[in-house]
Amino acid sequence: MGTLIPIGNYGLDIEGELPQRINDVLLIVGGAPGGIDAAVAFAKDTKCDVAAVNGTIANYPGSLFLAVSLHEDLLPSWVKARKNKKARPCVIANDPLPEGVEGGLDVVIRLNRACPSSGIYAALIGRAMGYQRIVLAGVELAREGERTAYERIVQAAVKKGALAGVESLSGGWLAQALKAKH
């Protein structure tokens, strides 16, 4: 067991060392349509550290501060496929790599309850790192069935303060839930 950090209704068990944030804003880029474009535009006008989740890790054109996923088995291949190889991001997953999967994780962060997506997982990590503002771009939870499966989890996280300071550049139900005052 590593360091346990409470964030709202979540407990994050952190094994390894998270990097020191550079800026007060964390921009998290997901794979929903328009997410990368919205992130690039946001980063032009705002000093921020950038995290990408899942396949966006390979596709984001700029430098990444964090590469985050709940899919630890796929994470090393996404990091390896990055087009921008100027600096390796801190690689974070919820479990150690399965046996036989090559690559490297810098930090393992386990959660004590269900998390609806890698984007929300990255937001919880950003909260643990002390970011004042966390902005989602291309994180919508809009695939078929996601709202039904995850709306209560997100609403509880908002109500308990786990997602305080998190906002979305994208539309949809997730953006509205993040704005809700409970």
Dist. CA 123–CA 135, nearest whole Å: 8
Residue-wise pLDDT for 124-176, tens only, equals: 999 999 999 999 999 988 776 777 778 889 999 999 999 999 999 988 889 99
Find out whether 122 and 51 touch, Cβ atoms under 8 Å: yes
Per-10-residue mean pLDDT, the chain, length 182:
88 95 97 96 97 97 96 93 89 86 87 94 97 95 77 92 95 88 54
Sequence-distant (6+) residues with CB within 8 A of 67 are 51, 52, 57, 75, 78, 79, 89, 90, 91, 92
Distances (CA, A) of 8 to 20, 28, 82, 113, 150: 22, 19, 33, 12, 17
Look up residue 100 and give its two tokens.
């036989």
Q: Is the pTM of this model over 0.85?
A: yes
How many alpha carbons lie under 13 Å from residue 156 in its C-beta half-sphere?
10
